[in-house]
Structure 1
Amino acid sequence: MIDLHLIGTGTGNPDHLTRAAIAAMNAADLILLPRKGDEKSDLIDVRRALCAEVLTGQTQVIAFDLPDRDPDTPYRDAVDQWHDAIADAWAAQIAAHLPNGGRLALLVWGDPSLYDSTLRIADRLRAGGMAMTVTVVPGITSLQALTAAHAIPLNDVAAPVLITTGRRLREAGWPDGVDTLAVMLDGKCAFDTLDPAGVTIWWGAYLGMAYEELASGPLATVGPRIVADRAALRARHGWIMDIYLLRRTPAGA
């Protein structure tokens, strides 16, 4: 039996770890750290730093190579194939390092429930016959870190918020019936496709880290600067994690 703990680690700052997260990390027999290639070495370095900061016992920490997603396959098909490959990679590491079962932990950026696929990958292993229990240790999301960094509320009074992706915003535009959008997983600055009139943006990258970057203001003036800064930051660090909130003036206001 594998006792899998998916641990939300916030945005990489050890101060974002909950007591429950620290306890779960120390109780694990094995922590698996995905390695995404040399160009993203900082990502695994952050996870290693978290382990070094909080582990006090004999928990084994093992890095493994994460499969790449095929950029030439249609998106949904590519994601399904990618998740199958990741499940196979997990299974190989479990067979190698926990052949008799035990407590396995994976460190998940933000929270395992929000735009993350570790729960779906665990379901693949269970569907394939692996005896596994799954426990989620919630973490601070990048959305919480963004609103805290800018000291703003997520929503206007009595108003809804839609959480979406850059891909959806680019393909479908601003959804009807909502004036506040939280946009995640946007690698191509989809806000640049919108009519900026009356729209304010709050953007953050590497939230909670020493090299955190923030920008906010009218989309018409701040948007182009974010596009340039984002490209420079990605070139400097080899990767970027960012998120933004868009709010437009309601019609008739």
Structure 2
Amino acid sequence: MTVNDDEINNLDIEERNINGKPLTYKTGDVASILDETPAMIRYYCREFQEYMTLEHNPGEHRTYTEKNIEELRYILDLLKADGLSVKQVHEFLSSPEGKLSSPIFDQHDKMQELINAISSKMDDRLQEIVKAELQSNLIPTIQDMLQNSIKQLATTKDIEYSFKSIKDEVKKDNENTRNAIKEIKEDNKITREAIEQFSINKDEIRRIEENMSKMHNLVEEKFRNKDNSAKRKGIFGFFSR
């Protein structure tokens, strides 16, 4: 009796079930189940591998689980029953709606996607609330703050102008002070020169006085000598008579 390929596959499946091993299928098995050619099954696996849990090492034969068959069945329904193109299937499976409705993704992925979708909706709602709050309360407040800032800026400019004026006055006073100090220094210089000149004149006067005193003494001494000489002549004349 000749045993065909289907009988061999059935024997393999029964053996795996009997031994308690996970049930797996070959590409030909999956093609028969989904009514596709093995070449198309391999194409779909390559094209949509990012959405499938199929594990395949290059150079080795693919082995499929029941879950992999359900994943391929869902993709084929999108392509054939819903009439989507390959590109549209990619876009749908990548969208939040596709991830939530697709049997391809596990419950953890769906729960995460649901959380992301709810968070996104909440973010939209929060944005609306914030926008309404801005329009009703914060924007007028900001406008008032801007107006006050403008007024303060004008006041600040006035203060800066006043400060500049004061600074100019102080600068002018400092200049006048420097000029006055310069004049005082010049006057002090003249005074010192006058004092020095006076000291020179004082010494000169002292020398003149000393010379006059000497001359006076000489004159007195000369007159005394002359007077004494006259007296001696008188005495001698008296005795000579």
* Bin for the TM-score computed over the shorter chain: under 0.3
Structure ranking higher in strand proportion: 1
Choose 1 or 2 for highest CA Rg.
2
Higher relative contact order (CA 8 A, sep 6+): 1
User: In proportion to residue count, which structure has more helix?
Assistant: 2
**Alignment TM-score, normalising by the size of structure 1:** 0.21
What is the TM-score with the length of structure 2 in the denominator?
0.22
